[in-house]
Amino acid sequence: MHSFFAKLASYGERYEVTELPSPTDDEWIGCDRLLDPWSPEMERVLEAERVASGQVSDHATALTVMAVYAGTVTASALLAWALEGKVVDVRPANTAIRLSAHHGFEAVGLRSLSVVEGSVETAVSWVLTEHLLPLAQAMRVRTRAGLRQLHGGVAFGCAAAFCAAGRRGAPLDRLEAAYKEFMAVAPGGLDRLGEVVRLAEGEREGLFYLRNTCCLYYTSAEAVKCASCCLDSVDARLTAYRRTLTTPPVAHH
């Protein structure tokens, strides 16, 4: 089982998960607690991002958290399903996060390193219906961030889980097909909030995401836009993405 998770992690840090200690120490925040918009754990997560990135509003903080959360906390489940037809149990009761002093999270942990043979319906249920979409609703209640923008962060994070592994050698055909299958079943209108494009430059190819919503990260103290930011034109984003294909790829171990 540990070798299975090591294989996922070999495709990048976003896919790394660790087995939680028992009993769980206070540094870990159970993801099921984040589904309560008024929980102390929700406040800890929002405050950590507010301090780390220097966001100036509650709704911008929530949008930033939602995007990075969806791109890391549940990413292992999507990659496992795309490559192996198996789904990692990232349902909220089995998942926890450890906060970072920097933008994002320091670690993702699972109470049980549980993996099942799963259909696309299982992947959608465990990742979206039971986890990311209820979290988006909780963020909406807590901060009044727009639900469409929060769902845009969910869509972006899920797309990143499929796209990023391609830069470490995962088969693009399989990733692209899995993304399309996943989005065809996904609720919440996520398929209308952006699109994955396949680009080629020289002998290299890659999958990249074009967002239709904004996470407002540019309003933070970092004052930078995401590569997929809808505030840039499609042509500008495609040009920037193609440029990344001219740099040496990251080795896959």
Please check whether residue 171 is in contact with residue 162, taking contact to mean a CB–CB distance below 8 angstroms. no
What pTM does this model have? 0.91
Calculate the CA 25 to chain-centre distance.
Answer: 24
The whole-angstrom separation of Cα 242 and Cα 219 is: 26
Contacts of 197 (CB under 8 A, 6+ apart): 207, 208, 209, 210, 238, 241
The whole-angstrom separation of Cα 194 and Cα 41 is: 30
Q: What is the pLDDT along the chain (253 residues), one digit of tens a residue?
A: 578 999 999 999 999 999 998 767 788 999 999 999 999 999 999 998 888 877 778 878 898 899 999 999 999 999 999 999 999 999 999 999 999 877 779 999 999 998 999 899 999 999 999 999 999 999 999 999 999 999 999 999 999 999 999 989 999 999 999 999 999 999 989 999 899 999 988 888 999 998 877 655 555 555 455 655 656 676 777 787 788 888 766 655 5
The whole-angstrom separation of Cα 137 and Cα 40 is: 17
The whole-angstrom separation of Cα 149 and Cα 107 is: 25
Handedness of CA 215, 198, 108, 251 (dihedral sign): negative
Which amino acid, 216? L
Whole-Å CA distances, 207 to 149, 172, 230: 22, 7, 17
145-160: pLDDT as tens digits: 999 999 999 999 999 9
